Structure 1
């Protein structure tokens, strides 16, 4: 949408993703903002955003795709595929360490609608699953920690850390040298949250010194990832192109259309974001 158009002044619904800050002053009639993804930080970060509902898109199929991605990444490290690929390049015939799933401690950081189901899915596969969230809400079969006070206990025994946090002021830059230092040496990172949560230079430093044993990164501060970014060629990093849970366009359109109909008919909107929590 070109916000200089006359029609913009009459728009009641704005469908958006990474829109430029300041556009909302040109949209005086807006009654609902609808993200085309699960993230809404790009909307709420704009100080000019008005007091109207913000909705997101998410469905069970998207959760299933994310769970598949995280399970594959977990198996990638648990079964030593990272080591095996390296040894193939070196023409070395050597089996990786062999551990049962219940001997692998996987921590899921962020237990929202997607994170909670991923923790449960990992638990069903036999992993020793720990969870952390701001509230510490319980999940059956998962040892859950809550708030800042519980974060050290959550982090210290992990073999793999899965980041599923939303992007808020509190989670921006949370994956940094201070957090990595609280993990046991050699912990692996699976980053599926939001790009700005990860301090990329700190990740490289932690990998280089062995504090982290590897990382699969699906989301980045700059996307597409610039060709000169050192993560592309780092031997300890697997880069994936924001593919963990891409929602089919038809499903996105269907959910947005449904909320538009509800707005016009006065029915309660679906998937409304809690603005104070930013997710």
Structure 2
């Protein structure tokens, strides 16, 4: 092979993310670079210079001794970071406008859903009940966003434009124009005390695992017209303590939850989330990004790298994102 091959290793995903469709997309944008779908017994591992992966199993990349860059096809890299045998090469996360826009849509949709009392209105429709409740203005609610990276900042600006009060929290100090920002353990409780609707877009790291727990829920602000706080998690399933969410919903500590991610996916059929009256459930599709955009992004990154330019959006392995 002339150019180093790009190996594709994709587990799971929707039809739009099927391995065969990924191969077709990368074949179109990579020119004469060989694109190989793994596993391929005929492939010489030494010829692989790049890998584009989604949820690889631990050890699957260790055989590629000439690997130069690993591209993760989704935003979360926790599955890769858990692989102790992962080659010591740059790990690049996806950061495309399409992904950011779709996540912003999801966050705005679900904040508005709870703000505009949609669960109550849909139930009223089902039972043919004409009983509208008082509807407050967006400015009556404070939305707190955990995670102020590209996704969090975009969602914060969109919600602010709709009239919501918006605050943000991140582990390290961040500045987002027009948004009051808190950071670190010192700012966490102050952030929670202002928040009526909590949106979680954090990466999953050892420090953030189960950060959505009862201790956090009890500190959320309970003085808004909602009556009880709402949690929206579109980050990673490991961020939430699911038993705590269920108990908090049942005893009124939380008024509602929108969940796009779960500790076990696909969500088991016997999960209480499926039928819980206070849960809005979606199947991890908040930012189901156009794979065409991702394949073009990876091809551009490879071209930059081979031209001697710096890769973009390289994961800091010590921080996990």
Measured against the shorter chain, the TM-score band is over 0.9
Partner of 1:98: 135
* Contact 1:10–1:28 (CA under 8 A) maintained in structure 2: no
Unpaired stretches in structure 1, ≥5 consecutive residues: none
Deviation readout 1:6-65 (Å, 9 max, x if unpaired): 522432111111111122332211111110011112112211123210112221222122
> What's the secondary structure of 1:256's corresponding residue?
helix
Residues 39-54 of structure 1 correspond to what in structure 2 (within 5 A)?
A: 39-54=76-91
Deviation readout 1:176-211 (Å, 9 max, x if unpaired): 122112224510011111111111111111100010
> What's the secondary structure of 1:189's corresponding residue?
strand
Partner of 1:183: 220
Partner of 2:152: 115
Partner of 1:12: 49
Q: How does the TM-score come out when normalised to structure 1? A: 0.94
Deviation readout 1:137-175 (Å, 9 max, x if unpaired): 222221111101111111123210000111111111111
**CA distance, structure 1, for counterparts of residue 205 and residue 160 of structure 2:** 27
Partner of 1:256: 298
* Contact 2:98–2:293 (CA under 8 A) maintained in structure 1: no
Unpaired stretches in structure 2, ≥5 consecutive residues: 1-37, 223-227
Q: Quickly say closer, same or farther: Cα 1:5–1:21, change in 2 above 3 A.
A: farther
1:34 aligned onto 2:71: yes
1:209 aligned onto 2:246: no
Deviation readout 1:191-237 (Å, 9 max, x if unpaired): 11111111111111110001000011111122221211110010110
1:124 aligned onto 2:161: yes
* Contact 1:63–1:114 (CA under 8 A) maintained in structure 2: yes
Instruction: State how many pairs are aligned.
Output: 279
Answer with 48-57 or 233-242: which moved more.
48-57
- TM-fit CA distance, 1:4: 6.2
Q: How does the TM-score come out when normalised to structure 2? A: 0.82
Partner of 2:208: 171
Q: Quickly say closer, same or farther: Cα 1:173–1:162, change in 2 above 3 A.
A: same
Select which of 254, 272, 278 maps to 1:230.
Answer: 272
Q: Quickly say closer, same or farther: Cα 1:193–1:229, change in 2 above 3 A.
A: same
Partner of 1:151: 188
**CA distance, structure 1, for counterparts of residue 42 and residue 193 of structure 2:** 54
- TM-fit CA distance, 1:253: 0.9
> What's the secondary structure of 2:112's corresponding residue?
helix
